[in-house]
Amino acid sequence: MPSTNSTLAGIFQQMADVNQIVDGNRFKTNAYQKAARVMKELTRDVSAVPPAELTSIEGVGKGLAEKIAEFVESGKIQEHQDMLEDLPAGLLDLLHIPGLGPKGVAQLWKEAGVESIADLEKGIADGSLAELKGMGKKKLENLSKGIAFLAKQGGRAHLGRALPLALHVIDWLKSECDVTLIDYAGSLRRGKETIGDIDILVGAEKKVHHCLMDAFIGMDMVDEVLGHGETKSSVRTSDDTGAIQIDLRVVEPKHYGAALMYFTGSKEHNVKLRERALSMGYTLNEYALADKNDKSRHIATETEEAIYKVLELAWIPPELREDRGEIALSEKDGLPKLVELEDIRADLHTHTTASDGVWSIEENARAMADRGYHTVAITDHSKSQYQANGLDNDRLVKHIEQVRAVAAKLKGTITVLAGSEVDILPDGSLDYPDELLAELDVVVASPHAALSQEPKKATARLLRAIENPYVTIMGHPTGRLVLKREGLSPDIDALVRAAAERGVAMEINANHWRLDLRDTHARAALAAGCKLAINTDAHGAGDLGQLPYGVLTARRAGATAADVVNCLSAAGLRKWIASTRA
């Protein structure tokens, strides 16, 4: 069941779209979009906030507070209902078609009477839409392909699918055309958990453009070529998880920095940069930072660093470019030194064949040692996870002995800790008694069942687990699965305050299906003074490659190595673990 926050975010975004379609005031559209963003990033369930305190939430003014209160009380916003009544029932479905935004939907509706995807398909088939301005043959072909794409894909791709695909394309183009200025851009470069499509940017001389475009559309993975030009081409590829679009843009090397900055985004970050440039007498676009009065006079173009420097800003890591105060921090040289993949020295949440893993305790530990880690915690499932071969009390006692034996064997190579991923039961109690938990070095307490609990019960449940004196880490606290399952919607602010007070770390589960804590929740944890744990939840060697996704999520939250317990020295980690025993 969607949380109140996510439901409201969807409503406000829909109000923004409808407002655009009916040619409403753009300031009103922007206000609705901002409201959607505020709700999406809010870390506590807004339904639990007293109406009189809603305006104390950053970004919530009087008007928005009234609408939130109305929804919490009645389950709807009357203004939203009134807006929908003025539209045909199937019109908003058109917004899901790639390449068709609110303005295009408005044109199709007002000028051709298109009120649904079926109407659009019919208009394309009978040629009646060909006379509309801007609806040429190529545009209509792309819309037709977009309808088929929507039926196959139905949404966004998760980070764990998009990033490897982008890296594969980059390696291919490097090998085929000998280019060095190449990167992925867009929301993927910012490390977002889901990606609409993949943007690849190349800086190359014109003589290389033909090679790049031909190599790009000639990749084995390409199902369909959507466009093939001199400086931009688009393809669509698919596998058993769906289809995804990849766009390739090529610019001259001298424009690479400006283009990379522009196409990385976010939109909100770019707007703030353009406003700053104008206030300083410059203009900024995808080609250059130029003199406002003589746009042919380029001030900085080749690197992002050069452009930020002229704007009197430190370079801002892509993961922070979301208009969350990063420009103000950059101006004061106050940006955090974000955690890096190389900073991770331990994994505190892993599984073996004792439960549902595919490697032995020793294989697990040696793989971690090979990565340069000084510590690994073996945390197989507890008994309630029967489908995952969870360990009952007697099996856990024997398992602890086996872990201790491997630890002794590998002493001097890696520290092996005996732990468990212990289920948080629906009432907040844990799956093992305290006297058994006391025998463990590390306890990762995680919810796996009853994931549709209403927010108040979910919050109480997780708070009770945090208060257990033997809990070391709160594992994937919402239990969500990206693009698959909403999970719990607890009051994250309350959880991270309690965790900070107890000294318990909140996990960013690096598995790309989880990424739980998500970035906004991790930001709240840091603001509360709570430590983070970035763990792979590895069930086998193949899962160790998930770690970058957790690090990206932590970076989006603004985390430094000092914020992450996995970055501690061996002695520091031992000391921290001991401190969590209340």
CATH of the domain at 192: 3.30.460.10
Q: With 0-12 CB in 10 A as exposed, 13-18 as middle and 19+ as buried, what is 27? A: exposed
Q: With 0-12 CB in 10 A as exposed, 13-18 as middle and 19+ as buried, what is 481? A: middle
- Position 239 scores a pLDDT of 66
Residues 205 and 314 in one domain: no
- Position 508 scores a pLDDT of 98
**Residue 553 counted as domain residue:** yes
Q: What is the pLDDT of residues 184-197, one digit of tens each?
A: 999 999 999 999 89
- Please determine, for residue 6, whether its predicted confidence score (pLDDT) is greater than 90: no
Residues 287 and 388 in one domain: no
Residue range 51-73: average pLDDT? 90
Q: What is the pLDDT of residues 107-140, one digit of tens each?
A: 999 999 999 998 999 999 888 888 888 888 888 8
CATH code where residue 535 lies = 3.20.20.140
Residues 465 and 560 in one domain: yes
**Residue 98 counted as domain residue:** yes
- Please determine, for residue 409, whether its predicted confidence score (pLDDT) is greater than 90: yes
Residues 311 and 367 in one domain: no
| Residue with token string 């009234």 | 66
CATH code where residue 114 lies = 1.10.150.110
- The amino acid present at 255, given as its one-letter code, is H
Residues 6+ apart with CB under 8 A from 29: 16, 19, 20
- Position 387 scores a pLDDT of 86
Residue 571's CB: how many other CB atoms inside 10 A? 9
Q: What is the pLDDT of residues 208-235, one digit of tens each?
A: 999 999 999 999 889 889 999 999 999 9
Residues 483 and 389 in one domain: yes
Q: Total structural domains in the chain?
A: 4
- Residue 556 CA to residue 577 CA, distance in Å, equals 26
- Position 240 scores a pLDDT of 56
- Residue 108 CA to residue 147 CA, distance in Å, equals 15
- Position 149 scores a pLDDT of 63
Residue range 78-97: average pLDDT? 88
Q: What's the pLDDT band for 98 if we cut at 50, 70, 90?
A: confident
Residues 487 and 400 in one domain: yes
Residues 503 and 354 in one domain: yes
Residue range 48-54: average pLDDT? 89
- The amino acid present at 30, given as its one-letter code, is N
- Global confidence as pTM: 0.82
Decide if 252 contacts 206 (C-beta within 8 A). yes
- Residue 311 CA to residue 326 CA, distance in Å, equals 14
- Residue 271 CA to residue 290 CA, distance in Å, equals 16
Residues 352 and 277 in one domain: no
Residue range 356-384: average pLDDT? 97
- Position 65 scores a pLDDT of 92
**Residue 181 counted as domain residue:** yes
Decide if 415 contacts 403 (C-beta within 8 A). no
CA Rg, the chain, in Å? 26
Where is the domain boundary, 112, 129, 153? 153
**Residue 513 counted as domain residue:** yes
Residues 108 and 145 in one domain: yes
Residues 6+ apart with CB under 8 A from 502: 466, 467, 471, 580, 582
Percentage above 70 pLDDT, the chain: 97
Residue range 328-355: average pLDDT? 97
- Please determine, for residue 146, whether its predicted confidence score (pLDDT) is greater than 80: no
- Please determine, for residue 1, whether its predicted confidence score (pLDDT) is greater than 50: no
Q: Which of 395, 404, 344 is nearest to 538 (CA)?
A: 344
CATH code where residue 281 lies = 3.30.210.10
- Please determine, for residue 408, whether its predicted confidence score (pLDDT) is greater than 60: yes
Residues 326 and 356 in one domain: no
Question: Token pair for residue 480?
Answer: 């969500």
Q: What is the pLDDT of residues 224-278, one digit of tens each?
A: 899 999 999 999 987 656 788 999 999 999 999 999 999 999 999 999 999 999 9
- Position 9 scores a pLDDT of 87
Of the two residues 534 and 581, the one the predictor is more confident about is 534
Residues 247 and 128 in one domain: no
**Residue 336 counted as domain residue:** no
User: How much of the chain is in helix, strand and coil states, percent to nearest 5?
Assistant: 50, 15, 35
Residue range 74-81: average pLDDT? 91
- Residue 451 CA to residue 358 CA, distance in Å, equals 26
Q: Which of 138, 132, 136, 196 is nearest to 162 (CA)?
A: 196
Question: Token pair for residue 399?
Answer: 């398992």
User: 236-242: long-range contacts (C-beta < 8 A, 24 or more apart)?
Assistant: 236/145, 236/149, 237/165, 238/152, 238/153, 241/157, 241/161, 242/152, 242/153, 242/154, 242/155, 242/157
532 forms beta bridges with 506, 564
Give the domain extent around 426.
Answer: 341-579
Residues 269 and 217 in one domain: no
- The amino acid present at 457, given as its one-letter code, is K
Q: What's the pLDDT band for 352 if we cut at 50, 70, 90?
A: very high
- Please determine, for residue 101, whether its predicted confidence score (pLDDT) is greater than 50: yes
Where is the domain boundary, 223, 251, 279? 251
Q: Is 480 helix (H, G, I), strand (E, B) or coil?
A: coil
Sign of the alpha-carbon torsion through 422, 428, 431, 433: positive
Of the two residues 94 and 557, the one the predictor is more confident about is 557
Q: What is the pLDDT of residues 442-454, one digit of tens each?
A: 999 999 999 989 9
Helices (H), 22-134: 26-41, 62-74, 78-85, 102-112, 117-126
Where is the domain boundary, 203, 222, 251? 251
Residue range 359-369: average pLDDT? 97
